Amino acid sequence: GAVVSQHPSRVICKSGTSVKIECRSLDFQATTMFWYRQFPKKSLMLMATSNEGSKATYEQGVEKDKFLINHASLTLSTLTVTSAHPEDSSFYICSAPGSGTSGYYEQYFGPGTRLTVT
């Protein structure tokens, strides 16, 4: 099946710094990618939809200036957490839809990035 990678898998940073997380589709092209956030023992919360060649679409309540998304190519989307604070510590997961048949698409998820802000 299709593979999505994320880098880094873990990152620890100090408050006030910025962190960039990469999401790559390795063997397929993705004009759309999705960024999720997951708190411990909780569900995935969709943060934004990343669109190649255009601006990302953010979910209600997600600060676009805080979480910068750039979909630079058909295989790469990046999420930058700017001026990180301890409350930004979380598990960030990206996904990309596969080329399903008849319009029914499954999602391929990256392995996630554990961000810890100290």
Partner 1 sequence: SQQGEEDPQALSIQEGENATMNCSYKTSINNLQWYRQNSGRGLVHLILIRSNEREKHSGRLRVTLDTSKKSSSLLITASRAADTASYFCATRGRGSTLGRLYFGRGTQLTVWP
Q: Specify the residue, 10 or 83, whose C-beta has the smaller distance to partner 1.
A: 10
Q: How many CA atoms lie within 13 A of 110 on its CB side?
A: 31
For the chain, how big is the Rg over CA atoms in Å? Answer: 14
3-state secondary structure 68-104: EEEEEECCEEEEEECCCCHHHCEEEEEEEECCCCCCC
Residue 17 and residue 115 in contact, taking contact as beta carbons nearer than 8 Å: no
Q: Which stretch binds partner 1 (CB under 8 A): 12-20, 69-77, 78-86, 99-107?
A: 99-107
8, 15, 73, 111: which one contacts partner 1 (CB under 8 A)? 111
47, 81, 96, 117: which one contacts partner 1 (CB under 8 A)? 96
**Footprint of partner 1 on residues 24-83 (CB under 8 A)?**
32, 34, 36, 41-46, 49, 57
Residue ranges binding partner 1 (CB under 8 A): 1, 4, 6, 32, 34, 36, 41-46, 49, 57, 91, 93, 95-97, 100, 103-112, 114
